[in-house]
Amino acid sequence: MYLIITSLTLCSSLIIGLFGFYLGRQVSILLSLLSLFISFLISILIFYEVVLCQSVTTIVLYNWVSFSNFKLHIGFLFDELTSIMLFLILIISLLVHIYSAGYMSHDPYIIRFLSYLGLFTFFMIILVTADNFLQLFVGWEGVGLCSYLLINFWHTRILANKAALKAMIMNRIADVFFILGIVLIILTFKTADYLIIFNLLDHFTSTFIYIFFFKIKVLDLIAFFYL
């Protein structure tokens, strides 16, 4: 159930993007809405298990990077915050898909738009379910890419092109601070895993770093990068 919600929107997006021309507009719209509706129902079950039954779930798929004492894996964390965010993301995405299906029903490129929209939802799910900062960054970059594609969907319009470029540039500026924060986290904690880092926070409250002769708390600097 937990893995289904992380992959269902990706599968529907790929199917619509690759085979939407053969499936047709109505089938593509139905497939898009059905995948979102099923994902929304699963998010309700996850909310029940995690929040109401207090059953936090972690899933580790495989090790991504492993050398010396540093290990990084592909995994998912479903805690209270994640389950609440999943519920909100999927109910809003479902409403957006329903509205888009009606508003763009006569647009000749609606199949491509639905593919982008499903991919955007997938990366949002990756963003909130990641159990480490590097996987979080992957979700962040995916959301930025899909934002560019959606804003620039009507690429023949100059204003759409300008707005998409502006959004991409702002995301790249944020990426610099994001990457600096990840590097500092890995250098400080020797890991990017949420649970390990959160359990070690109390041990690093008095850890400082010197930058141009200024003494700064490491945790304060990390928090600054993620503001």
- Give the pLDDT confidence of 51-101 residue by residue, as tens digits: 988 888 889 888 877 776 777 888 899 999 999 999 999 999 999 999 988
According to the model, what pLDDT value does residue 162 have?
81
According to the model, what pLDDT value does residue 77 have?
92
Contact 9, 39 (CB under 8 A): yes
User: In tens digits, what is the pLDDT along the chain, a chain of 227 residues?
Assistant: 888 998 999 999 999 999 988 888 899 999 999 999 999 999 999 999 999 888 888 898 888 777 767 778 888 999 999 999 999 999 999 999 999 888 888 888 889 999 999 999 999 999 999 999 999 999 999 998 888 888 888 777 778 788 878 888 888 888 899 999 999 998 888 888 888 888 888 888 888 888 777 788 888 888 888 87
State how many domains the chain has.
1
Distances from the Cα of 175 to the Cαs of 171, 181, 195, in angstroms? 6, 10, 23
The candidate with the shortest Cα–Cα distance to 172, out of 133, 141, 134, is 141
Q: Distance (Å, rounded) from C-alpha 145 to C-alpha 152?
A: 11
Tokens of 97: 């898909």
Residue 59 exposed, middle or buried by CB count within 10 Å (0-12, 13-18, 19+): middle
According to the model, what pLDDT value does residue 128 have?
94
Structural domain of residue 90, as residue ranges?
2-225
According to the model, what pLDDT value does residue 27 have?
92
Give the Cβ contact number of residue 165 at 10 Å: 13
**Which runs of consecutive H residues, i.e. helices, occur in 51-210?**
80-103, 110-129, 133-151, 158-189, 194-200
Tokens of 185: 């986290």
According to the model, what pLDDT value does residue 204 have?
83
According to the model, what pLDDT value does residue 214 have?
79
The candidate with the shortest Cα–Cα distance to 133, out of 191, 199, 64, is 191
